[in-house]
Amino acid sequence: MQISELQILVTLSEEKNMRKAADRLFVSQPALSQRLQSIEKAWGFKIFLRSQKGLTLTPAGEKVVQFAKEMIEKEEKVREEISVLEGEVYGTLKLAVASIIGQHWLPKVLKKYVQKYPQAEISLITGWSSEILKCLYEDDIHIGIIRGNPDWKGFKQHLLEDTLYLVDTEIQSIDDLVHTERPFIQFKSDSTYYQEIQEWWHRQFKNPPKRTIVVDQIETCKQMAYHGIGFAILPSVSIDEKDGSIFRLPLIDHEGKPIKRDTWLIGHESSLKLKQVQAFMEIVHQFINE
């Protein structure tokens, strides 16, 4: 089987829908259906069962798709090894980053990367720190970017430091929080971020916020605060300092210093030998120095 046929099977198994798979593969639905029929004919049995609900793998199909995934992974590794030998930057750069970094810092880096290395491809996952560490331990990615200070034994480099701010369209002083009826908008996180906020609040005030709204994403939290629904505590990396429509109040710790958050870049030493990873690290260092 050709790599393109293997990719068809993997995409169909992930989407479980002929139309969605056709969109991902940039082919028409009839053409994809015809390719699948040819593949199944070559194997001599049905790989997928069709129904109004979509596609379902047959027991034999599960074996074939697993084979397809393994072959695609082997093909990628061979290409990476060849790229090291030839000195050119191509292959897939596999990243997993904290959502806030993926939304606000990383796009500028990746823009420069794709412009400088057009032959390289990018696979990007965004999520919580625990998910990123899991991807690294399972060797699914080359580089992880994590908030906080992770316990990681491999390659680890400090990326950036940002300050925590209370942001609101009305509140202009931390002391105003004692009397305000405005809700505190929080976003879910599995890092030490939530714990730091709780500790800061208890040092400042005896009672918890009168009203709280919990959302699942930091960007949702930010937009709700910017639209005047309530106040939020956000890292400076997510805040546009030129926006004059919102007040920004730095959080101060027990020593009178601004509370800051660290972001780390981590990975396996072996990944740093790959040309596409080395090229990415060079661009990251440029941004750090700037």
200 residue type, one letter? W
Q: How far apart are CA 229 and CA 192, in angstroms?
A: 25
DSSP lists the bridge partners of residue 56 as 49
Which residue, among 289, 159, 162, has the nearest Cα to 238 in the 3D structure?
A: 162
pLDDT tens readout for residues 53-79:
899 999 999 999 999 999 998 888 888
The per-residue DSSP string of 22-52 comes to HHHHTS-HHHHHHHHHHHHHHHTS-SEEEET
Q: How far apart are CA 5 and CA 134, in angstroms?
A: 30
pLDDT for residue 1 is more than 90: no
Q: What are phi and psi of 266, to 5 degrees?
A: -130, 160
pLDDT tens readout for residues 209-221:
989 999 988 889 9
Average pLDDT over residues 126-143: 89
pLDDT tens readout for residues 147-196:
888 888 899 999 999 999 999 999 999 999 988 999 999 988 766 788 88
Helices marked H in the chain: 3-15, 18-25, 29-43, 59-86, 99-104, 106-116, 129-137, 193-204, 218-226, 275-289
Which residue, among 191, 176, 19, has the nearest Cα to 99 in the 3D structure?
A: 191
Q: How far apart are CA 195 and CA 172, in angstroms?
A: 24
Rg (Cα) of the chain, in Å, rounded? 24
Average pLDDT over residues 248-266: 92
Asked if residues 93 and 277 have their Cβ atoms less than 8 Å apart, the reply is yes
Q: Which domains does the chain have, with CATH numbers?
A: 3-84 (1.10.10.10), 87-159+262-289 (3.40.190.10), 161-261 (3.40.190.290)
Q: Nearest 5 degrees, angle CA 19-CA 21-CA 27?
A: 80
pLDDT for 85: 62
Q: Which residue has the tokens 């993926």?
A: 102
- The tokens for 250 are 């730095």
pLDDT tens readout for residues 79-118:
877 766 666 777 889 999 998 899 889 999 999 999 999 8
Q: What are phi and psi of 268, to 5 degrees?
A: -85, 145
Q: How far apart are CA 230 and CA 65, in angstroms?
A: 49
Q: Sign of the C-alpha dihedral, residues 146, 149, 155, 159? A: positive
pLDDT tens readout for residues 3-51:
889 999 999 999 999 999 999 999 999 999 999 999 999 999 999 999 9
pLDDT for 49: 94
pLDDT for 172: 92
What is the separation of C-alpha 131 from the centre of its chain, rounded to a whole number of angstroms? 9
pLDDT for 86: 65
pLDDT for 87: 63
pLDDT for 250: 94
Asked if residues 239 and 100 have their Cβ atoms less than 8 Å apart, the reply is no
The per-residue DSSP string of 90-138 comes to -EEEEEEEEHHHHHHTHHHHHHHHHHH-TTEEEEEEEE-HHHHHHHHHT
Q: How far apart are CA 12 and CA 23, in angstroms?
A: 11
Cβ-count burial of 23 within 10 angstroms (0-12 exposed, 13-18 middle, 19+ buried)? middle
